[in-house]
Chain A
């Protein structure tokens, strides 16, 4: 009594492969964009950075006031745009990259929708489907954020790269044929719980990328303060300051954290309906809880004197590691009510 449509499943697979091709092209364009940005910086700004960091003030405000004095523009401290006297740097590569990412998103969306149509249910019932749908949401969330903040194209590399990796992992290691769900998953809560988890994970992914860039930028800035010439990573000069990146990361995490709390609660409600208890310390429940606690620690750290900046960033990275562990390790290895892979 299989109602699975093989034809649609094939269409879905083809679309996944095509989207991977386009993602690769987009990744290349984003990398080209980063590489192109460094030489476009005015020398004054680079010198400014070194001087200002030497003074020890917080980057952007000091930037702003010094630029005031220099007779330039007053820039609010959330402007992450790289600006020159002529205006924001918008390389052609970035434009191409974003367009390619939209195309890849469309193909990817088609793949997921085709898979859903093939199995006549929401397309996240096993590891392969989790990975493809999750990666889709990451790209989707990034592009939505990009429409509101055009200056975040520098994150593109760090979004398309992991998405490509995830899709590669999905089609090689996780691949499962299109089929029905096991009875335990046939519930409306699957839609709610998992989709919110996807959006929260996508935002955590963006926050993680920003955090990693922040740490790299911080290392570079402190090297400059110490007077040494910083080593590799010239593309970082084209990126916002560590403090700006930190604030971007914070905003991503703040958006994601309540959503993850909702995931936790929705999961508990579903568990209550399906298994009779809302909390049984099942491995997946435990790790979802652990992730929430670690990100709560990150938020607390930002409010604790002496713990913000680098140490809080470590906590955010630890949280993301737990997120990956939750998805990869727990699904595959731990035994409990959640073993579906």
Chain B
């Protein structure tokens, strides 16, 4: 490895090899692909994955992230900068798993080459001293049966799925023998497992590039079509063009929601069923079909799937402006905040003349008032619905709502900086509490608000991911490889027959070498020898039928002492 100086003979120095750039690169590569590095990277990966479960993640709930940043004004932005709100796409997390995979490949590919070569080499030759192996045994066999015994050994080992090679006694090795090897499947499984993980990573990468998802809200009685503008949120992968969405449309006929009404338990109000009955038109001109969609039963349409992930109430309001004309009429999507479906609602009426109107408040399916006098919902089912809102107006003729500025706004947030809140008769803020079918007139002739009734809406998560089949296939392959590598035993077995002296019995000797911890090997050798001796017709000798590894200490004059037992020697 040195491209440097000759050994420092005569200088009294220890001459160290100088590593050039290539040498250092080789050293770094060897360190990277070593087991120790893989181990450290694995532990690092586990540690690096944990923050994503501690801090809110943008990909799961961006609202929570925004809340966290508001509550932690100094820590929040720093965490954001360091990537703690997007852990799994952050540079440091990616670095860990990419390094891990490089290390994996750098170790697995040479091992695969070595395994390929090993698969093509025959079992190794029989060692001279079989009694030095961890498992060894001897049995006497009648003389003259050597050939029969070895043939039986070959057949028995082949039956047990060993690769077998026959060797003649020669060149100082006493006795003919049979060499056998099994368990290559373990290493094959190991390699398959690791390579399948690489395949899985590729599938994941492809998935993130080629998949898209988005959320659509559809109100009962209404229909939406699958274009980008219908989506509340739309996240395409890099390779997805927005013009490529399949052209289906869905109409929500009815949303049946059932909550637990059993007052005796703690599960009162827990959701029990969500069934959305929908009419689906797969493409313009095709006949519509009706489907029932529920949480574990998505809608399959246009090659994509739409999942029912949320629902809520959509109260229908009519807002009349100061001139008496209807400025807004229709359902308002609300956002449920808790299990009792206290839902935020915001209505922006920019077309009201002369002053724009904004309503902000809550929709309560079952009206109640808590200890502080704040209106809350008592039960998620609409047993006694109310709309509770405050009213804001802009200056006459001005765009106080800000809808014409071109800056996008959240539909659940009303920016009241340019608006004036209307006051009630008692001087405090005006709070309208509307029951279904009632109308409230706004003071100063600003208009009126009518709560007509309510519908429900369903939030659908539409999703398409072409990589999922590949991900499943590679992970199943990985699991199969893993099971094989952990449970298949790599073993080598040798059987030799030593001719006896004169007419005395010959000795059948067997030895086995496990690759690692292998308690069943002793039994295997025992059974093999028993099979061989049974296959050799002849007077049975007392030493035959023993052979339990636990050893019976019965002494037998005919059996070779102690060597009739199968031994565990050194490991």
| A293 lies within 8 A of chain B by Cβ | yes
B295→A274 contact, CB < 8 A:
yes
Given contacts A179-B265, A184-B295, contact A300 B42 (CB under 8 A): yes
Given contacts A177-B266, A179-B265, A250-B517, contact A257 B482 (CB under 8 A): yes
A residues less than 8 Å from B534 (CB atoms): none
Binds A, one of B52-60, B377-385, B501-509: B52-60
Give 1 or 0 for each of B162-189: 1 = CB within 8 Å of chain A CB: 0000000000000000000000000000
Interface residues on B, range: 35 or more
Provide the bound-state CA to CA distance between A179 and B268, in Å.
10
Given contacts A277-B465, A300-B35, contact A183 B42 (CB under 8 A): no
B296→A273 contact, CB < 8 A:
yes
Provide the bound-state CA to CA distance between A4 and B265, in Å.
11
Give 1 or 0 for each of B559-571: 1 = CB within 8 Å of chain A CB: 0000001011111
B551→A74 contact, CB < 8 A:
yes
| B545 lies within 8 A of chain A by Cβ | no
B258→A276 contact, CB < 8 A:
no
Given contacts A58-B571, A65-B569, contact A265 B36 (CB under 8 A): no
| A278 lies within 8 A of chain B by Cβ | yes
B residues less than 8 Å from A280 (CB atoms): 59-60
B residues less than 8 Å from A289 (CB atoms): 49
A73→B39 contact, CB < 8 A:
no
Given contacts A76-B519, A76-B522, contact A179 B267 (CB under 8 A): yes
Q: Which residues from 302 to 341 on chain A have a C-beta closer than 8 Å to any C-beta of chain B?
A: 303-307, 315, 322, 330, 334-337
B residues less than 8 Å from A290 (CB atoms): 46, 49-50
Give 1 or 0 for each of A151-194: 1 = CB within 8 Å of chain B CB: 00000000000000000000000001111101110110000000
| B270 lies within 8 A of chain A by Cβ | yes
Given contacts A304-B35, A307-B36, contact A61 B571 (CB under 8 A): yes
Provide the bound-state CA to CA distance between A182 and B57, in Å.
25
B residues less than 8 Å from A294 (CB atoms): 42-43, 46
Chain B interface SS verdict (over half)? mixed
B274→A293 contact, CB < 8 A:
no
A residues less than 8 Å from B486 (CB atoms): 254, 257-258
Interface residues on A, range: 35 or more
B43→A303 contact, CB < 8 A:
no
Contact partner of B565 (CB less than 8 A), chosen from A74, A254, A293, is A74
A residues less than 8 Å from B271 (CB atoms): 182-183
A-B Cβ contacts below 8 A, count: 176
Provide the bound-state CA to CA distance between A297 and B46, in Å.
9
Shortest beta-carbon distance from A280 to chain B in Å: 7
| A2 lies within 8 A of chain B by Cβ | yes
Shortest beta-carbon distance from A15 to chain B in Å: 20
A residues less than 8 Å from B50 (CB atoms): 286-287, 290
B472→A269 contact, CB < 8 A:
yes
| B82 lies within 8 A of chain A by Cβ | no
Give 1 or 0 for each of B268-294: 1 = CB within 8 Å of chain A CB: 001111100000000000000000001
| A1 lies within 8 A of chain B by Cβ | yes
| A146 lies within 8 A of chain B by Cβ | no
B482→A261 contact, CB < 8 A:
yes
Provide the bound-state CA to CA distance between A290 and B549, in Å.
41
B204→A279 contact, CB < 8 A:
yes
B residues less than 8 Å from A307 (CB atoms): 36, 39
Contact partner of B36 (CB less than 8 A), chosen from A78, A79, A282, A304, is A304
A residues less than 8 Å from B49 (CB atoms): 286, 289-290, 293
Given contacts A293-B42, A304-B36, A307-B39, contact A281 B571 (CB under 8 A): no
| B64 lies within 8 A of chain A by Cβ | yes
| A224 lies within 8 A of chain B by Cβ | no
Provide the bound-state CA to CA distance between A300 and B39, in Å.
6
Shortest beta-carbon distance from B98 to chain A in Å: 15
Closest CB pairs A-B (n = 10): A276-B463, A283-B53, A177-B265, A78-B519, A297-B42, A179-B267, A304-B35, A187-B296, A293-B46, A61-B571
- On B, residues with C-beta under 8 Å from A are 35-36, 38-39, 42-43, 45-46, 49-50, 52-53, 56-57, 59-61, 64, 87-88, 204, 213, 258, 260-262, 264-267, 270-274, 294-296, 298, 305, 307, 309, 461-463, 465, 468, 471-472, 475-476, 478-479, 482-483, 486-487, 517, 519, 522, 549-551, 553, 565, 567-571
Known: A65-B569, A300-B35; 9 extra A-B contacts, CB below 8 A, are A64-B569, A179-B260, A182-B271, A261-B482, A276-B465, A283-B52, A286-B53, A290-B50, A322-B46
